Homo-oligomer: A and B are copies of this chain.
Amino acid sequence: MQQLTIRRPDDFHVHLRQEDLLPKMVKYTAQHFSRATIMPNTNPPIRANNVSAYRGEILSAIPSDCDFHPIMTIKLLEDTLPHEISVAHGLGVLAGKLYMRGTTTNSDDGVGEVHCMWHTFRRMEEVGMLLLIHGEKPSAFCMDREKAFLTTVYEIAKEFPKLHIVLEHITTADAVETVLALPDNVAATITVHHLLLTLDDVVGDKIQTHHFCKPIAKRPADRDSLIEAATGKMSGAHKFFFGSDSAPHLKGAKECAEGCAGVFSAPVALPLLVEIFEQHDALNHLENFVSRNGARFYRLPFNPGTITIVKKDWVVPVEYDGVVPFRAGKTISWQVLE
């Protein structure tokens, strides 16, 4: 195939950052995706009281030729009470994001004990707000953190059968199995980098700081399971959809003694997905993964319009506005038709 036209896609997990970085980063998501779920782990965190201002900042940074709609979220803290859920819902917030304390960037204010959130989850279930979960148990060994959290996902899903729960950026075969085993109110996002990387690409040869993310990339068998789930090679594949977790950090915050977690994939995600799906003979499933499954789970209409990707080599720039992208300097064989 030399050219592919699909319904316009969504990115159900992206970090747009704040202050100086935000206006620079919005365009890389807006140019390829019609909607994106905007993560709230800024500093200070996005809550009901500042989510409208944050949306305003994002909207004003969208290039005029892009038809892009941010899906706003709030961060769920231990003092996020049901009332805040109702207020946020009234402001058009579609989802609340749960981070356990100490899990990732800006999560020191995260939740220590998930049961103290029960009344908040109940209100989310009532108003129809999604629960997005960074599913790691921070006290576990890094390779076991996601698996160690899965019993908690079971518990939440059982307690709140009508709450739509997204297990974000899954990295293990165990997580795939758990999502498949749970009812249809539980789904998962998968990033493009977790479809490509294993821990070998982080610390197998050199230490590759731009491949460092949370959750850390796992074993080859885990990556294979993610590929199967994303490319529709298993029954239940409608529960898996794309969320890039694109997370820009300035170059100096990555290439240093103690680098930050996050892979900046926004400008390369869609062409890389085409490459991966082509390689696994699954181009017919790509639209489900990037344009349908997530919209359906979010109870959103499919995007109008299409996007065309053509088979044409291009070399990924080594930096975008001071941020080193995933696959910097490497050749990608598909290109979005502008």
Contacts and interface: CB of A to CB of B under 8 A. Distances in A.
Given A143-B143, A219-B141, A220-B141, A260 B206 contact: yes
Interface string A185-217: 000000000000011101110111110100010
A259 B206 CA distance: 5
A19 interface: no
B203 A203 contact: yes
A220 B210 CA distance: 26
A235 B169 CA distance: 46
A255 interface: yes
A260 B207 CA distance: 7
A210 to B, nearest CB: 6
Interface residues of A, number: 28
Most chain B beta-carbon contacts within 10 A, residue among A202, A203, A204, A255: A203
A234 to B, nearest CB: 23
A59 interface: no
A55 to B, nearest CB: 30
Nearest to A217: B203
B204 A142 contact: yes
Interface in A92-109: none
A77 B109 CA distance: 54
Contacts of A142: 199-200, 203-204
Contacts of A202: 203, 207
A281 to B, nearest CB: 25
Given A199-B142, A199-B143, A219-B141, A259 B207 contact: yes
Nearest to A256: B255
A173 interface: no
Contacts of A256: 209, 255
Contact of A208 (B216, B255, B258): B258
A199 B259 CA distance: 15
Interface of A: 141-143, 198-200, 202-204, 206-210, 212, 216, 219-220, 254-261, 324, 328
The 8 tightest CB contacts between A and B, nearest first, are A206-B258, A207-B212, A207-B259, A142-B204, A255-B256, A142-B200, A203-B216, A207-B209
6 contacts: A203-B212, A206-B259, A206-B260, A207-B258, A208-B257, A209-B256
